[in-house]
Structure 1
Amino acid sequence: MSRRVAMQVSRLLNSNSTIAQASTFLKSTPMLGNRHRSTMASQEKAKPGANGEDDRAAVSSYWGVAPPQVRKDDGSPWRWNCFRPWETYTADTSIDVKKHHEAKTVMDKFAYGTVQALKYPTRLFFQRRHICHAMLLETVAAVPGMVGGMMLHLKSLRRFEQSGGWIKALLEEAENERMHLMTFLEVSQPKWSERALVIAVQGVFFNAYFAAYLISPKLAHRIVGYLEEEAVNSYTEFLEDLEKGLVEDQPAPAIAIDYWRLPPIRRSRTSSP
């Protein structure tokens, strides 16, 4: 990952600011903002590179339809189909990760108590296997945005009303969390027991969160707030162990470098600018 705070805060980014950053990025990058050039890039044939090999990025198709080919500013092919250059962003390191919402109402206390009760079994299971713990957190963190976006989508259809942009914001949040998972998978391969735990936890959490959202969307979002707070605490412990040398500081994977617009060579832990 990138900087210390980016490691903690990337999941807490406001989706609306992400949309604004994407718009600014499009305006500042003519190749990406020009639809015609993107279309031409998708239609041009592959040209052999210096080594005589095809320089196109590997593509995956859906029902036999290959996605449009996109290239970087330097003309090299964009290697990722799960996200495009205009969907990347730089982490907002100005967010106060120590901010805490005091639980005063019965609903808030229930949300806080639920999250506190759930954190201990996972910490006991993973101990100091931080990356595997992070993978579990990300599979859970990617659920609320999808559930919330789905519920608002159906509500908009039922009531014939606008959503105020929150459907897209919540779905983007779910996608952002999924990209965190894809990043951690690049640096660690989970064991079968950890994969089984992820399947079980995701199944239980999805249905429980869906039920909570039906009862009270406010309660559901408050649970997410406290859940993200615990995730920041978990990543802080991860960073402290990196600084102590208890965990190997691995190179940032290529998918993280492109998604967070990092310099070509970065480590999991870097000093603040």
Structure 2
Amino acid sequence: MIKEFFPEPDAPNIKKTKTAWAHPIYTYEQMEAVEVAHRQAKNWPDYAAIGTMRVFRWGMDFATGYRHDHSQSTDHALDGKKVQPKTAMTERKWLIRCLFLESVAGVPGMVAGMLRHLHSMRRMKRDNGWIELLIEESYNERMHLLTFMKISEPGPFMRFMVLGAQGVFFNFMFVAYLFSPATCHRFVGYLEEEAVLTYTRLIADIDAGKLPMFQKMVAPDIAVDYWSMPEGHRSMRDMLLYIRADESKHREVNHTLGNLDQKNDPNPYASQYKDESVPHPVKDIEYQKPTGWERKDVIGS
């Protein structure tokens, strides 16, 4: 399943195709400062969002065979040899998990952006900067998927599972966003909390020496170009730090959007503030707010 690269499409006159959006530059101090966090539910829409998220999380865990056991070491001694228990998360299992996760993670932003795009045209009014933010989030998740596909090639069964999951998830998000956009953003915020947790555990397994193949692996060129990874910091672990930082940003963004007036408030991540020296929503992770910015802190009312 693990491989070195995918062959590029035939295009003799083209050297490289650049991405549409330039990715923010993260520092290693900022990425290492990313933490697992949870926003406490405050009302019934929040409880509905977190309950739905837990159902989806259970389904994803079941489909990918994901199991994280804090009490269980990856290596067990048996007759002088080290063997891995069947429930341990190996490199292959982690790649299946990441591929499946990223293949559905790009759905919510695209659905929300599409519906807001159509809504803006129907009303013949501006969208206050939300559409580009949501589509860019979806694009970022797709880049995560393409990055993992440079390392691992999914088989027919995996592709079938992704097709089914996308079909269910797309229609679920489409209907739900028509009824309550704020609840959907809260749901995605909770989903991204789980993504941060997953990548934090993966990085911890690498640091603990449980994934020797990942320790030796270098980031593919697509990752180096997309995140502008500096020389000497292009390992698999470094790449996962960037991906986790992106997920932490999506966590913050969606919790923030869930706090706003969906029809009238501007996108706080594309706004200019009177005092730029005061912490405020930004596209990078300079000011990290894991549980999102409250409306009064960004709108002022």
TM-score, scaled relative to structure 1 = 0.67
After superposition, where does 1:138-153 map in structure 2 within 5 Å? 138-153=102-117
Aligned length: 200
**2:188 matched to 1:220?**
no
Determine the structure 2 residue equivalent to 1:48.
none
**2:151 matched to 1:180?**
no
For residue 263 of structure 1, what is the amino acid of its counterpart? Answer: P
Q: Shift in Å at residue 209 of structure 1?
A: 0.5
Q: Shift in Å at residue 91 of structure 1?
A: 3.3
For residue 269 of structure 1, what is the amino acid of its counterpart? Answer: R
For residue 227 of structure 2, what is the amino acid of its counterpart? Answer: W
**Alpha carbons of structure 1 residues 270 and 155: separation in structure 2 relative to 1, 3 Å:** closer
**Alpha carbons of structure 1 residues 157 and 59: separation in structure 2 relative to 1, 3 Å:** farther
1:236 aligns with one of 190, 200, 209: 200
Structure 2: gaps (5+ residues):
1-7, 67-88, 242-301
Give the distance between the partners of 1:91 and 1:191, measured in 2 at CA: 33
Determine the structure 1 residue equivalent to 2:121.
157
For residue 136 of structure 2, what is the amino acid of its counterpart? Answer: E
Determine the structure 2 residue equivalent to 1:108.
46
Q: Is the 8 Å Cα contact of residues 140 and 205 (structure 1) preserved in structure 2?
A: yes
Determine the structure 2 residue equivalent to 1:6.
none
Give the distance between the partners of 1:242 and 1:157, measured in 2 at CA: 48
Q: Shift in Å at residue 252 of structure 1?
A: 0.4
Q: 2:106 is paired with a residue of what secondary structure?
A: helix
Q: Shift in Å at residue 104 of structure 1?
A: 2.1
Q: Is the 8 Å Cα contact of residues 257 and 264 (structure 1) preserved in structure 2?
A: no
Q: Is the 8 Å Cα contact of residues 89 and 261 (structure 1) preserved in structure 2?
A: no
Determine the structure 1 residue equivalent to 2:22.
87
The higher relative CO (CA closer than 8 Å, separation ≥ 6) is in: 1
Q: Is the 8 Å Cα contact of residues 36 and 197 (structure 2) preserved in structure 1?
A: no
Q: Shift in Å at residue 140 of structure 1?
A: 1.4
1:257 aligns with one of 221, 224, 242: 224
Q: 1:150 is paired with a residue of what secondary structure?
A: helix
Determine the structure 2 residue equivalent to 1:119.
57
Structure 1: gaps (5+ residues):
1-56, 70-76
Determine the structure 1 residue equivalent to 2:153.
189
Q: Is the 8 Å Cα contact of residues 109 and 138 (structure 2) preserved in structure 1?
A: yes
Q: Deviations over 1:112-137 (max 9, x none)?
A: 01111221232233332112111111
Q: Is the 8 Å Cα contact of residues 139 and 178 (structure 1) preserved in structure 2?
A: yes
After superposition, where does 1:53-64 map in structure 2 within 5 Å? none
Q: Is the 8 Å Cα contact of residues 156 and 163 (structure 1) preserved in structure 2?
A: yes
Between Structure 1 and Structure 2, the one with more helix by share is 1
Q: Is the 8 Å Cα contact of residues 142 and 173 (structure 1) preserved in structure 2?
A: yes
2:167 aligns with one of 203, 224, 230: 203
Q: Shift in Å at residue 59 of structure 1?
A: 7.1
* Displaced runs of 4 or more, over 6 A: none
Q: Shift in Å at residue 88 of structure 1?
A: 3.3
For residue 218 of structure 2, what is the amino acid of its counterpart? Answer: P
**Alpha carbons of structure 1 residues 251 and 226: separation in structure 2 relative to 1, 3 Å:** same
Q: Is the 8 Å Cα contact of residues 149 and 167 (structure 1) preserved in structure 2?
A: yes
Q: Deviations over 1:85-114 (max 9, x none)?
A: x62332363675333211121111111011
CA-based RMSD of the aligned residues comes to 2.5
For residue 236 of structure 2, what is the amino acid of its counterpart? Answer: S
Q: Is the 8 Å Cα contact of residues 90 and 261 (structure 1) preserved in structure 2?
A: yes
**2:123 matched to 1:170?**
no
Q: Shift in Å at residue 264 of structure 1?
A: 4.2
Give the distance between the partners of 2:164 and 2:223, measured in 1 at CA: 27
TM-score, scaled relative to structure 2 = 0.61
**2:60 matched to 1:98?**
no
